Amino acid sequence: MLAGELYSPLQNPELKTLHRRAVKVVNEFNETPLDEEERRAELMKDIFGSIGTTPYIEPRFFCDYGKNTFIGNNFYANAGLVILDANTVHIGNDVLCAPNVQIYAATHPTDPATRAAGLELALPIRIGNNVWIGGSAIINPGVTVGDNSVIGSGSVVTRDVPPNVVVAGNPARVLKQLVGTA
Residue 89 sits in a domain of what CATH number?
2.160.10.10
What is the identity of the amino acid at 137? A
Confidence of residue 115 (pLDDT cuts 50, 70, 90): very high
Q: Answer whether residue 90 is part of any domain.
A: yes
pLDDT for res 179? 78
Q: Can 108 be counted among the known catalytic residues?
A: yes
Residue 99 domain-assigned (yes or no): yes
Q: What percent of the chain has pLDDT over 70?
A: 98
Residue 159 covered by a domain: yes
> What distance, in Å, lies between the first and last C-alpha atoms of the chain?
37
Mean pLDDT over 111-129 rounds to 96
DSSP state of 53: S
Q: In terms of Cα–Cα distance, which of 103, 10, 116 is closest to 63?
A: 103
pTM score above 0.75 = yes
pLDDT digits (tens, 9 = 90+) for 129-160: 999 999 999 999 999 999 999 999 999 999 99
Residue 6 counted as domain residue: no
- Minimal CA–CA distance to 105: which of 7, 4, 14? 4
Closest-CA residue to 91 (of 73, 65, 106, 79): 73
Domain total of the chain: 1
Q: What does the pLDDT read at residue 182?
A: 53
**Chain CA centroid to CA 159, Å:** 15
**Annotated active-site residue in 16, 24, 108, 159:** 108
- Band (pLDDT 50/70/90 cuts) for residue 180 is low
pLDDT in tens, 61-99: 999 999 999 999 999 999 999 999 999 999 999 999 999
Yes or no: say if 49 and 64 are a contact pair by the CB < 8 Å rule. no
- To 10 degrees, what angle do helices 37-47 and 13-31 make? 160
Q: What is the pLDDT of residue 42?
A: 97
> Which segments of 72-175 does DSSP mark as H helices, in order?
112-116
Q: Which domain holds residue 31?
A: 13-174
The Cα–Cα gap between 29 and 25 comes to 6
| Inside any domain, residue 2 | no
Q: Is residue 7 part of a domain?
A: no
Number of Cβ within 10 Å of residue 4's Cβ equals 14
Percent of the chain with pLDDT over 90: 97
Q: Is 119 contained in some domain? A: yes
pLDDT tens figures, 152-161:
999 999 999 9
Type of residue numbered 35: D
Q: How far is CA 138 from CA 59, 105, 108, in A?
A: 18, 11, 16
Is 97 part of a structural domain of the chain?
A: yes
